[in-house]
Structure 1
């Protein structure tokens, strides 16, 4: 009996377990998934929670419910991995031996890494929204905020869902306007990047949307500390940005046990081959989803597309044949822009987000780098797709490889 252990029952880990359970004979394979609790969180919904647009029961469900029969779920925290002995050691004293290991423990916000963030103003005037508790607390803060300077801030890249801070900013602007309080609120978007986004065409488009909404953009801001008493962000080059309400995206890091196991980089992400997600140090270890160091977005779409590639490659690898599938870094993300509209970006390692239609040329139905109501409804519909199709590992009619079909470069003909 071969033993496959998957660490993490989030998006990537659950998808991988379900897809491999279908492919690997139950009589020959034991599949164990390890996570610290039985609560699966629909993370895209956290964006809407501060604005009262999602109910808690829509966002949190049992992990066991989404794992296929024949998959064992072990509820425990991981202490470390001993890759030489092929053993996962849990904090409760258990030792799980494995023949093949998949690390899918994602990435998490670490407010403790920025001096002053977890000070006296945490969850009073300084909030996050990448956690359920943070997003819930922020809802109350927005409701009681009568005016002043709202600063939306990113500590550093990479972060989980890199467009989410922009989405929050657009939604907040629309929400305050609808509440009749927009004139009392100054909104500033603060980023370590040189523009609103990482790629030129999308950065220009999204930056223009900030400008149209009278949202100030502060770029190249690398925060050194937060002064909670003065309510000021302080950068390494001694620039200061005051705030009345700060919505921050803390530094994101992988799981601490990755560092304790000697498997991670400086942010606890596992170095892997960017085409196959196989560990560069131990060939029987793979890291998928947000847990690896792939040079692309840490987003649910990347987990989806890359797990499709990983599943095929893993089945070839355990059969002793060459891995033939190649992940191209494909990512796509709906970007909520407020007022019931949104835009869509679709890109990979080599191609930046471009305008056009997705997935079909001229027909869409979704517009690339263009605000439409369809894009907004597409994002809302994804919650049903996530729970009923994506997590169970069912087939979706979207290719894992990015296509240039329907895309065009500005200034060029289709």
Structure 2
């Protein structure tokens, strides 16, 4: 019996387990998935916890609720990937051989990469990219008396690149409508980018929201360290930004097992063919989701689209056929803008976010690159879709893995990457 071994039972790994469980011949292939944690987190929900929109109950379930019974699940830490031997070493020197390996180990925040951050970690400096961070920030905001709240992005790439923008837009709504103290809060957005977002058309569209919401943006700000004692961000060229409360998006890095196994780049992301999702170093290793080094967003929707493509390519690989299924970098993201409104962007490697309708051309019901209430409702509905469809590998009607150009005003194509 041959084995497909999946490392990581997060969003990407769980979807692959479900897809392959339906497609592989069970008389010839076994599927094993390894993960050290029992809980599965709906990570997009972390954004809402500091503002008391979601609670922990909304974002946590058991991993085993979504892994098929036919798939062997091993709860263990992963010590080493020995690619040249086609095997993975788990704790206690437990060795698991494989014929095909899928790396879905994700990425994680590493706040210690910036000097000074840990001196005030979850005291005056918080994250919302972890369940612990979002809950601690919720508790902090309950008693916070106001001042300068700085939302800061350390460097790219990060999981869900729109999340920091959503956070500061929701903070404007939260302090004004819920806590009735917006006049006591100065909101500042600090980014290493030229503008609000990585895609220029989207950045241009979002820029009007900053003066509208009285939010100051400081761009091109690269940070070597934080002066936690004096509550200052200090850039490489000596510029300073004062804060009373810092909400930071730390450096994002791939799993440390990638570093130990000598399979990644300087940030522990695995060099991956951006179309086939095959490792650039080992033909029987495939990579999906946040673990890749692809020039695509690290977001759940991207992993969803990748999973459909990767399933077809693995089925081709195991029968020695060319890998014809091509991932085009498709990403689809809602951007909460506060006051029960949101924007929606749909783009890929070559096409920037543009106006239009989604998912049905000319009908919608969602509008692209424009604020609307129905987009906000779509963002909230995504949680139900995530738990009941995406994780289980169930296709979403009318939403394809490849970007649809129909229904879009394609007047702003990007240069192919």
TM-score range, shorter chain: over 0.9
Aligned position for 2:13: 13
Aligned position for 2:405: 404
What is the Cα deviation at residue 241 of structure 1? Answer: 0.5
Matched pairs, number: 411
Distance across 2 between alignment mates of 1:387 and 1:316: 29
List aligned pairs for 1:133-212, cutoff 5 A: 133-178=132-177, 179-212=179-212
Contact 2:81 2:261 survives alignment (8 Å): yes
Contact 1:76 1:92 survives alignment (8 Å): no
1:321 maps to 2:324: no
TM-score, normalised to structure 2, is 0.97
Aligned position for 1:128: 127
Distance across 1 between alignment mates of 2:361 and 2:16: 31
List aligned pairs for 1:250-399, cutoff 5 A: 250-397=250-397, 398-399=399-400
Distance across 2 between alignment mates of 1:321 and 1:403: 27
Distance 1:410 1:371, change over 3 A: farther
Q: Which moved further from structure 2: 3-12 or 24-33?
A: 24-33
Distance across 2 between alignment mates of 1:33 and 1:81: 14
Aligned-partner SS, 1:92? helix
Distance across 2 between alignment mates of 1:99 and 1:392: 24
What is the Cα deviation at residue 291 of structure 1? Answer: 0.3
TM-score, normalised to structure 1, is 0.98
Contact 1:355 1:410 survives alignment (8 Å): no
Distance across 2 between alignment mates of 1:344 and 1:54: 21
Distance across 1 between alignment mates of 2:57 and 2:212: 36
Distance across 1 between alignment mates of 2:318 and 2:182: 58
1:225 maps to 2:225: yes
Aligned position for 1:42: 42
Distance across 1 between alignment mates of 2:209 and 2:172: 11
Distance across 1 between alignment mates of 2:401 and 2:331: 9
- CA-based RMSD of the aligned residues comes to 1.2
1:51 maps to 2:51: yes
What is the Cα deviation at residue 362 of structure 1? Answer: 2.9
What is the Cα deviation at residue 55 of structure 1? Answer: 2.4
Q: Which runs of 5+ in 2 are unaligned?
A: none
